[in-house]
Chains A and B, each alone.
Chain A
Amino acid sequence: MGPAVLSVAVFLYGPLIASVALSLLDWNLLSSEVRFVGLANYGAVLDSVDFRLSAWNTLLYCATLIPAQIILPLILAVMIHALRRSPAQGFYRGCLFLPTIVAYSVAGVAWSWLLNPVSGLFNELLDHFGLPRSRWHTDPNLALLCVSLVTFWKTFGLNMLLWLAALSSLPQELREASQLDGASPRRHFFTISLPLMAPTAFFISVTTLFHVLDDIVGVIDVLTHGGPAGRSSSLLYYLWQQGLQFFQFGTASAVAVIIIAVVLAATWLQFRVVEKRVHYG
C-alpha cells in the first residue's frame, strides 16, 4: 500500500500542486529566466479571446454531451436488457461497446476518412442523393458538432455497460410484483427501477463530467486541432496547446488551476444535490 500511496502522491498530487506554483511564474522551458508574476497569468488568461472561446465551447460540449452520454446509453441498456435470454443480446452489446476500445487516434483517423471533404464517404453519399457537399469538421459551424459526435461514438459504450449492469442486478421479483399490481412497464421503470439505480446514476453523472472533459482533448487533437480558428477547441485543449505547443507554462498552469477549481465546484455541487435527495427527498 505504501508504494501505491506514494506514487499517487508523487505523480498525481505533485503535479497538481506544481501547477499552482507554475501558474504564478513567467517561465518557458527554453529560457532559464524565471520571474514571479503573481496573478498576472490569470489576468492574461481571462482576458484572452481564445480562452473565452474555448470556455464557451467547453460549456457547449458539456451541455450536449453530458445529457447525451447519460440518457442515450440508458435507453440502449433498457432495450438490450429487455432482450435478455436472446442470443442476439451479446452481439448488440459487443457492437455498441466496440468503439470504446479503439484509440483516439484511430477513432479520429477513421472519422476523418469518412468526413473527408474531398473524397470522404459522407460527401459522396450527399453527391449521390444530389445534395450539396458539406465541409464537415473543417466548417467552423459544424466542427464542434463533429467533435461531439465522434466523442459520443467513442465513449457511450462504457456508460451503457454500467447501466446494463445496474439493470440486471435489479431483483426480478419486483417486476413480477408490480405486474401483479397492474403497473405498466413504463410506470414500473420510472417509479421502481430508476430510483433503485440511483447509486449507478450518481456514479455515472459524476464520472461522465470528467470523462467528457478528458475525452474531447484526444478527439480534438486528431480531428480538428481545435480549429477552424479555435471553433472546436475546449479548455483542456487550450491548456494543452498553451503548455505543450507554445510552451507557455505559466498561462497553461493558470488554465489548469481554473479547471481544477471548476471541476471541484461541480463535483461538490453534485454531491450536495444527491445528499439533499437522500436525506430530505
Chain B
Amino acid sequence: MNARSFRLSSFRLSSFRLSPHRLVIHAALLATSVATVFPLVWMVSSAFTPNDLITAKAIRLWPEDPTLSNFATAASRYPIWMWLWNSILTATLITVGKLVLAVPAGFAFGRMEFPGRQVLFWFVIATMSFPAVLAIIPTYIAVVKLQAFDTYGAMIIPSIPYIGFYVFYMRQAFRSLPGTMFEAARIDGAGLWRQFTEIGIPNGVPAIAALSVISFMGAWNIYLWGQLVLEDRFKKTLTTGIAAFADLEGTDRAWGPLMATSLLSVVPVLVTFLLAQRFIVETLAPASQDK
C-alpha cells in the first residue's frame, strides 16, 4: 500500500523536477549528442581555420584567426558556386518529379476502386526495398546508349522513380480524409479529376509538404548515381564535387577548402531540417506503424 502510493507520487514529481534518475538520462543523452555532432562541429571549425594552421596542429576547438579564405581558395580551384546551383536545380526537379508521380498515384490507390488495385499497389510499394545499386548498371548502360551521359537529365530522370514510400504515404494521407467529403463532391457532379484537384490536393497539403522536404533532402544528398553520370566539372553537384575534390588531391588534400565546401553542402539541408523537424518526425511516425 505504502510502496504503491510512494511510486505514484514520485512518478508525478519526476515529470516536473529533476530526479537523480532523469539526471542520469540527461547526462547520457548529452554525452551521446555531443559525440554525434562532434564530427560536424569539427568540420565547421576546420572550414574557418586558415589552411596552413590546420595541418600544423589538429587539436583546437575554436578556429584561431577565423577566416573565409578557405571558401575563396575552394572557389578559385573548383566551380563550387556552380555545384551549389546544380544541387539546387537537380534536387528541386527530382522532388517535383516524384510528387507529380506519387501524389496522383496515392490518390488512385487510396480513393479509387479498380481491378488489380492491390496487386499494382504492392508492385509499387515493393520497390521501397530495392537497394539502389542493383539497378545502376542497366540504367547506366541505357544512359550511355541514349547519349545522355553527362547531362542533367541523366542525373534527374532515373532518380525520380524511387517513389515507393511516397506513394505509400500519400495513400495513407488520402485514405485518412473523411469519405463524406468526396461523397458530397460526387453528388454535386464532380468527376474524379475535380475530386482530386479540388478536395484531395488542398487537404493533402501537410503530407505533400512533408514529402517535399524529405525528398529534397534525399535528392540533395544523392551521391553514387551522380558520381557516375556527371563527369564534367561544371555539371557536378556539391556532393559529387566534394568526392572529386577529395579524390583528386589524394592524402595531402587541402583540408581547409575541402571542409569549407562540405559545409556549403550541409547548410541548405540543415536549414531545411531545422525548419521542418517536427514535420519529418510526424511523417515518419504513422508510416512505420501501419505495415
Contact = CB atoms under 8 A, between A and B. Distances in A.
A7 to B, nearest CB: 4
A97 B255 CA distance: 25
Interface in B108-162: 108-109, 112, 120, 123-124, 127-141, 144, 157-158, 160-162
A264 B213 CA distance: 31
- Interface majority SS (helix, strand, loop, mixed), chain A: helix
Contacts of A124: 57-59
B182 interface: no
Contacts, number: 281
B138 to A, nearest CB: 4
A110 B39 contact: yes
B81 interface: no
B39 A256 contact: no
A263 interface: yes
Contact of B137 (A97, A153, A243): A243
A29 B144 contact: yes
Contacts of A92: 29-30, 32-33
Contacts of A62: none
B266 A102 contact: yes
Contacts of B109: 1
A5 B134 contact: no
A244 B42 contact: no
B290 interface: yes
A104 B223 contact: yes
B43 interface: yes
A97 to B, nearest CB: 8
Interface string B11-39: 10001000000100110111011101101
B40 A15 contact: no
Which of under 10, 10 to 19, 20 to 34, or 35 or more describes the interface residues of A?
Answer: 35 or more
A266 to B, nearest CB: 10
Contact of B269 (A12, A83, A102, A121): A102
A22 B240 CA distance: 28
A72 to B, nearest CB: 9
A146 interface: no
B77 interface: no
A214 B133 contact: yes
A247 to B, nearest CB: 10
Contacts of B128: 207
30 contacts: A1-B104, A4-B167, A5-B123, A7-B101, A9-B123, A11-B160, A12-B161, A15-B135, A15-B137, A15-B139, A16-B130, A18-B138, A19-B138, A22-B138, A88-B26, A98-B40, A101-B273, A103-B223, A103-B242, A104-B223, A108-B243, A110-B40, A110-B262, A116-B251, A119-B255, A180-B8, A182-B3, A221-B224, A244-B136, A249-B137
